Amino acid sequence: MHDDPTVTASVDPGPEVLASWDALVVRERAGDVAQLSGWSVLRGEAGFEPIYVLGRLRGELVGGALVLCKRLPLGGRVGYVSYGPLIGSHLDGEDRAAVLETVCAALEQVARRRTRMMFVQPPEDGDEVSRTLMRRGFRRSDAGVAPAASLRVDLTATEDELRKGLSRRLRTWTNQWSARGVSVRQGDVADLPMLAELLADTARHQGFTPFSPGYLQILHRELVETGRAIVFVGEVDGEPVAADVVTVCGDSAKVRFVGLDRSSTASHLNVPGAIRWESMRWAKANGHRWFDFGGLQASSIDVLFAEGGVDIEALAGPDRYKVKFGGAPFRYPPAVELVPSIAVRGLYDVVRRSSRGRRMLDRTKRRIRGGTATAPRTPSSRDPA
């Protein structure tokens, strides 16, 4: 006879429980920093409140999900789960099925009682999560709360094999960067003002809210200092011109944030490429299985998974650049959503069927991904006078 799993849903389960949850996320192959307690602290700077849905079996914490919630001006309280829930891989058979069912039932209750809408992007190999939630009233979602697919490089290859996987032009660059004054180093806390400026340049270019200095200070404290993120800085003759924040969790290193000074006179030296290449080498040297380029734009997914070869020119610009590093595309399980209110669900469906409504939702999504609660535009020293 099997013991029944139990589940709790709490905003603050306490430091010991959070330490146990973080340990589970880190050791799971499909674990992602977006499920760590440090990530919830970081997103708290942007106005999100956590709800930890945690499942136990025979007293052991064996699964769960971090739900992040935010009250939107017109939409009420919205919750989302990025790459969760996670169920301990050491469970199998009846135990695994029972924990999954219990955690998904709790997510349904949180969605119905505490939010107007909940969106869930399950982790890799989490297809059963999607199916279980859909049996509980969720439906497939195209909201894009987290990337539905990505590109990744298998780091079990030798460095020579990784180099051969690069595009011809990138292979040439690997022999030229050093001679042309390009170097890549790991950043530290003293680099945060520079990192903020580089990330703000990219945020404005892509239409996102720039990260506040406070947001980046929390990112450094909660992720960099705990070894869950690395800042890579690309310089030309000692002058920073680009930076990446790469997170590490499970068996992957993942490009999370990208900063680039597009006004730099060194833009022809492809410094971002140097950062990616050195990041891949670092990830391999530190025992990671995959180097993940951090997601694909929705318009690129069908192109990369089309039969008969990939039409590179049909890819979105950022994704066209990513494929030059030799990665293979992969999909996450189907994202799902629950909008409990019939009236709200009907309005939401009407809005997303119109082009104007989709643009509004896209703007809302970009604001949600920003790094401040009030989303001010911070002036940059590179802005014209």
- For the cut 70, the answer to whether the pLDDT of residue 370 exceeds it is no
Q: Comparing 290-294, 326-330, 378-382, which segment has the lowest mean pLDDT?
A: 378-382
Lowest mean pLDDT among 85-99, 280-294, 296-310: 296-310
Task: Tell me what pLDDT residue 205 has.
Answer: 85
Which pLDDT value is given to residue 354?
82
User: Looking at the predicted structure, is the pLDDT value of residue 120 above 50?
Assistant: yes
Does position 375 have pLDDT exceeding 60, yes or no?
no
List pLDDT tens digits, range 159-178.
Answer: 999 999 999 999 999 999 99
**221-232 tens-digit pLDDT:** 999 999 999 999
Higher model confidence: residue 282 or residue 303?
282
Confidence category of residue 291, pLDDT binned at 50, 70, 90: very high
Tell me which H or E stretch contains 237.
none
The whole-number pLDDT of residue 167 equals 95
User: Do 258 and 272 contact (CB within 8 A), yes or no?
Assistant: yes
Give the pLDDT score at 204.
Answer: 87
Q: What is the pLDDT of residue 385?
A: 24
Backbone phi, then psi, for 29, in 5-degree steps? Answer: -55, -40
Enclosing H/E stretch for 320: helix 317-322
Which helix (H) or strand (E) segment holds residue 286: the answer is: none
- Over 60: is that where the pLDDT of 18 sits? yes
Over the stretch 235-254, which tens digit does the pLDDT of each residue have? 999 999 999 999 999 999 99
- Phi/psi of residue 150, nearest 5 degrees: -155, 175
CA–CA gap between residue 318 and residue 349 (Å, rounded): 29
pLDDT per residue over 316-335, tens digit each?
A: 888 999 999 999 999 999 99
Alpha-carbon distance of 182 to 275, in angstroms, equals 10
**Which phi-psi region, left, alpha or beta, contains residue 8 (left: φ > 0; alpha: ψ -120 to 50)?**
beta
270 or 354, greater pLDDT: 270
User: Domains of the chain, with CATH numbers?
Assistant: 6-146+339-368 (3.40.630.30), 149-331 (3.40.630.30)
pTM of the model: 0.90
Quote the CA–CA distance of 232 and 44 in Å, as a whole number: 25
Task: Give kind and range of the element (H or E) at residue 303.
Answer: helix 298-304
Q: Which amino acid is at 349?
A: D
Torsion angle, alpha carbons of 34, 37, 42, 46, to 10: 80
Mean pLDDT of 349-357: 81
The confidence score (pLDDT) of residue 384 equals 27
Backbone angles phi, psi at 373, to 5 degrees: -75, -35
Residue among 304, 311, 309, 353 at smallest CA distance from 331: 304
pLDDT reported for residue 308 = 73
Q: If pLDDT is split at 50, 70 and 90, which confidence band does 367 have?
A: low
Q: Per-residue pLDDT for 303 more than 90? A: no
Q: What is the pLDDT of residue 38?
A: 97
Confidence of residue 65 (pLDDT cuts 50, 70, 90): very high
Walk across the sheet containing 290-292 and list its strands. 182-186, 229-236, 239-249, 252-260, 290-292, 149-154, 328-331
**What are 177-211's pLDDT values in tens digits?**
999 999 999 999 999 999 999 999 998 888 788 88
More confident residue, 312 or 153: 153
Q: Is a pLDDT exceeding 60 seen at residue 62? A: yes
* Mean pLDDT, rounded, of the chain: 90
